[in-house]
Chain A
Amino acid sequence: MRSALLVAGAVLLGAAPAAAQIVPSKWDVGTHIGLTRFDKGAALKDAPFVGLDGTYRLGSRPAGAVLGVGFTFAASRPQTRGDQFPVVSLNVGDTTFLETVAQNVSLLQYGAQAMLSFATGRVHPYLFGGGGFYTMFLDSRQNEANRNFTKPMAIGGGGVDLAVSETIGFRLEARDLYMRNYDRNRLDPTVSYSRDQLVFNALPLPDKTSSALHNLQMSLVFSYIPSRRGQPGSQTP
C-alpha cells in the first residue's frame, strides 16, 4: 500500500515537462516517510513518521564533498505502550477487570542541521547532524487537558542519495533521534485512584528508562531540487 502510494507520488513529481535547459537551485528539499523505532525506555510503540528537510548547498569542498545547512522537520503519531504504565482496575459489580491504558500522542521534531555529501556519480553518500526541539502533544481527552511539552533534541545520521535525474532523487536515510530531558512519567494516562492496588504484578516491571534516549529513525526520502528553465549560467541564488 505504502509503496504504491510512493510510486504514484514519484510519477506525479516526474511529470514536469523537460523542454528547456534545467537550471537547478542550491536548495535541496526532501520529503521523508519512515519508521521510528523508539528506545525501550521511551514507552512508545514504533510508529511511522513523515518529514521534510531543506538543505542549502554552500559549495564544494576538497575531495568532492559538499556542505549544506538547512532545516529538518518530522511528525508522527505514536501510541504509548500500555504495559509500561500502571495497570488500572475497572470494577463492575462482583468482577474487577485489569486493563492497560495507552494514549496516542503527536510528536513533532524540528531543528537545524548541516549535511556533508560526497559526490561519487549517481550515488551520493552523505552524513548529517543537527539540533533542535521535540514537542509532544498528549491526548487531550484522556488527560482532560491540552498538555504538551517541548524538550531539546539532537539528530545525527547518514544515508545514500540516488539521483534519478538532475533534480530528482531518492535517499535512504537512518538517523539517531537523541531526546534530552525525557520524562516517561509524563505519558502516564492513568490516575492514581484507578490504579490496581490488589495484584500489583499483573505486568512485568517496566523497561529501564533514562532522561536521555536514543531512537532510531529510518526513512525513504524523495529529494527534489527546485529549478527553473533558463540559460546556462543563470542559476538561482
Chain B
Amino acid sequence: MTMFNPGRRLAALGAALVLSAAAAACNNDINGPAKVLGDPILNLSLGPAGNAVMPGGSYTLSANKDTLTITLTNLPPLPANSRYQVLLVDSQTVDSTTNNVRPVSGRLITQTRAKQPVTRDSAIFTTRTDTTLAASSITVGDTNRTFTLRVVNADLGGDAIANYSHILVTVTSALVIAPGRLERVTRKGFLVARFRDAKGTPSRTDDTFALSGSFTFGSWTINASTRQPFSGPGSARGGFRGTNIYVTFNSLIRPPEGFQYAAWLIDDRTGRQVRLGTLVTPFPDLQSLANFDVDSGSFRTSGAIVQSQLRANADSLGVVFDDFTRFALLLEPKGSSTPPSSASAIFVVTAAIPQSVSSRHSAPGQVSGTVTSGSGASVTGTTLILANPTTAQALLVANADATGKFLFRVVNVGAYKLYAVPPGSATPSDSASITVGKIRAADGSSVGDTVRVTLRIP
C-alpha cells in the first residue's frame, strides 16, 4: 500500500509561498506616487499691456493725387545703422517682371513737443519744428515727436502716386533707392495705409482714392490673405523658480518686419531696467526667435508662433528678482534694446512681480550686540530700542542680559537707529545708526544681513 501525505506537503508549500510573498511585500515602496520636484514656481500674473502705444500715424492725399502727406507718430528709436524708410507699393501688380515697389523721398518736417513747467501745478507745451531732406533721416522717435513727409509726383522721377495703392513704412539697414518688386507673400513693413481701392482691372481710371486715412501697425504682404495687423499678445504664463525666470507664450503673434520681442525687468521705484533677452522656442530646441518677423520655421504658423519662451537666470544677469517691480514684454526694432522707460516703447505684455518673490525668498536679518558699562555698573536690563532713523519712532525693543548681550531676531532689511537706555533712566545714553542690508544666500535668494553693534552706558 502506498502512503501519500499530500495534504501536509501542500500546506508546507503554500506556507512557503505566502511567506515569500510577505517577504516581497516588505520591500515594496509604499511612498506616494507623486513627489514635489525642487523649488516651487512663484507665479507671474501676466496680461496684455493695457497702456500699450503702438506706432501709428495718418496720411492725406490731395485731390489731384499728386501730393501725399504722411504723418508718423510714436516711432521707437532705432539701433545704429538702421533707418526708417517709406515705400509706395502697388498691390495689383503681381506679375514677375513689373516693379511694384518704389522708395519715396520728399520734404520732411519733424515736430518735437516739449513740456515745460510754469508753476508746480501747470506747464506749457512748446513745439519745435525741424526740416530735413529725406525720410531716411528718421532714426529716433518718441511720443513727443511727429514726422511729416510730403511727397509729390515730381519726387517719383516720372512715376505717379496714383500708380500705387499702399504706403509702407519699413525699418531697414540698407536704404532702398531704386524701384523694385515684391513677391506675393513677402512680409514687408510695420506701418501700412491703403489709399487706392483698386477695382482689379488693368485700368486705373476706375479706381477710387481715399483722401485720408490711418496707418495700421502690422505685417503686410501683397497677398491680402496673409496680411496680419498686430492684434495682441496671445496668452502667457510664467513665474520665478529659484534664480530662474520662465515665461511661456502661446500663439504669440508674429512681429512686423524689422521688430522683435524682448523681455525686461523694471523697477518703477528706481527706474532701473534690466533686459532679460529675446524669445526662444521651447526646450529642448531653444532656437532664437530674433528673426521671427521674417523667418519661416516649423515652430510657427503663418501668423503666430505656437509656443515660445523667455528663460533667464538671475546669476547670469547679476540681479536679484525681488529688486524689481514689473516684468514687461516689449516689441522693439531688431538690433536695438529699447529701454522700457522710453516713451515710445511698445509694451505687449506686463506683469507685476508678486510680493511672494521677495517675501518668500527674503529672510529678515538680525541685529545683535553688546552693551558695556563705563563705570562697571550692571548692564542687566538695559533697554535697546530699534527706531526709524528719520522719525525716531520705536519699532522694536529688547533688553540686554547679565552679560550685556542683546538680540533682535527678526529685523527687516533697511536703515535703523539703535538706542541704549540704561536701567532706571528715561533717556538714551548711546545710539548707533545701522543698516540691515541684503545679501545673497547660497540658494540664490536674498536674505537679510546680521548686524553686530556695541553700545555703552555710563
Interface membership of A123, Cβ < 8 A: no
* Residues 340-354 of B at the A interface (beta carbon under 8 Å): 354
Interface string of B38-58 (1 = CB under 8 A from A): 101111010000000000000
Q: Which residue of A lies closest to B355 (CB)?
A: A94
Is there contact, CB below 8 Å, between B24 and A202?
no
Is there contact, CB below 8 Å, between A198 and B20?
no
- In the complex, which residues of chain A have a beta carbon less than 8 angstroms from the beta carbon of B21? 50
Q: Which residue of B lies closest to A80 (CB)?
A: B33
A6-B19, A16-B9 as given contacts; A94 in contact with B36, CB under 8 Å = no
Is there contact, CB below 8 Å, between B37 and A99?
yes
Interface membership of B125, Cβ < 8 A: no
Is there contact, CB below 8 Å, between A198 and B23?
no
A32-B20, A102-B33, A102-B34 as given contacts; A96 in contact with B3, CB under 8 Å = no
Interface string of A82-105 (1 = CB under 8 A from B): 100001110100111111111110
A2-B27, A98-B38, A198-B248 as given contacts; A13 in contact with B3, CB under 8 Å = no
Is there contact, CB below 8 Å, between B33 and A16?
no
A100-B34, A198-B41 as given contacts; A76 in contact with B17, CB under 8 Å = no
* Residues 181-226 of A at the B interface (beta carbon under 8 Å): 189, 197-203, 205, 222, 224, 226
Is there contact, CB below 8 Å, between A229 and B2?
yes
Q: Which residue of A lies closest to B27 (CB)?
A: A48
Is there contact, CB below 8 Å, between B238 and A198?
yes
A94-B356, A98-B36, A198-B248 as given contacts; A16 in contact with B3, CB under 8 Å = no
Interface membership of A107, Cβ < 8 A: no
Interface string of A38-60 (1 = CB under 8 A from B): 00000001011110100000000
A5-B20, A50-B20, A198-B237 as given contacts; A29 in contact with B35, CB under 8 Å = no
CA distance A16 to B244 in the complex (A): 69
Is there contact, CB below 8 Å, between B35 and A99?
yes
- In the complex, which residues of chain B have a beta carbon less than 8 angstroms from the beta carbon of A140? none
CA distance A87 to B8 in the complex (A): 53
Interface membership of B316, Cβ < 8 A: no
Q: Which residue of A lies closest to B241 (CB)?
A: A199
Interface membership of B133, Cβ < 8 A: no
CA distance A153 to B73 in the complex (A): 73
Q: Can you show 22 pairs from A to B with CB atoms below 8 A apart?
A: A2-B27, A13-B12, A13-B16, A29-B13, A33-B23, A50-B17, A87-B37, A88-B34, A97-B40, A98-B36, A98-B38, A99-B35, A100-B35, A101-B33, A102-B33, A103-B33, A139-B33, A198-B238, A198-B246, A199-B241, A228-B2, A228-B3
Contact of B20 among A9, A77, A87, A101 (CB under 8 A): A9
Contact of A229 among B5, B35, B284 (CB under 8 A): B5
Interface string of A13-36 (1 = CB under 8 A from B): 101110010010000010111000
Which one of B9, B23, B237, B247 has the greatest number of beta carbons of chain A within 10 Å?
B23
Is there contact, CB below 8 Å, between B24 and A49?
yes
Is there contact, CB below 8 Å, between A95 and B43?
yes
Given contacts A1-B23, A47-B28, A201-B283, 13 further A-B contacts (CB under 8 A): A2-B26, A6-B19, A13-B15, A48-B24, A48-B28, A82-B34, A91-B43, A95-B42, A95-B43, A98-B41, A198-B246, A229-B4, A229-B5
Is there contact, CB below 8 Å, between A9 and B37?
no
B contact residues, range: 35 or more
A94-B356, A199-B41 as given contacts; A2 in contact with B36, CB under 8 Å = no
Interface membership of B22, Cβ < 8 A: yes
Q: Quote the shortest CB–CB distance from A90 to chain B (angstroms).
A: 8
Is there contact, CB below 8 Å, between B284 and A94?
no
A50-B21, A94-B354, A201-B284 as given contacts; A229 in contact with B33, CB under 8 Å = no
Is there contact, CB below 8 Å, between A200 and B283?
yes
Contact of B36 among A33, A99, A103 (CB under 8 A): A99
- In the complex, which residues of chain A have a beta carbon less than 8 angstroms from the beta carbon of B244? 199
CA distance A20 to B309 in the complex (A): 81
Is there contact, CB below 8 Å, between B41 and A95?
yes
* Residues 174-215 of B at the A interface (beta carbon under 8 Å): none
Q: Quote the shortest CB–CB distance from B168 to chain A (angstroms).
A: 37
A31-B16, A222-B16 as given contacts; A82 in contact with B33, CB under 8 Å = yes
Interface membership of B443, Cβ < 8 A: no
Interface membership of A8, Cβ < 8 A: yes
CA distance A80 to B31 in the complex (A): 12
CA distance A102 to B37 in the complex (A): 13
Interface membership of B282, Cβ < 8 A: yes
Interface membership of B130, Cβ < 8 A: no
Interface membership of B218, Cβ < 8 A: no
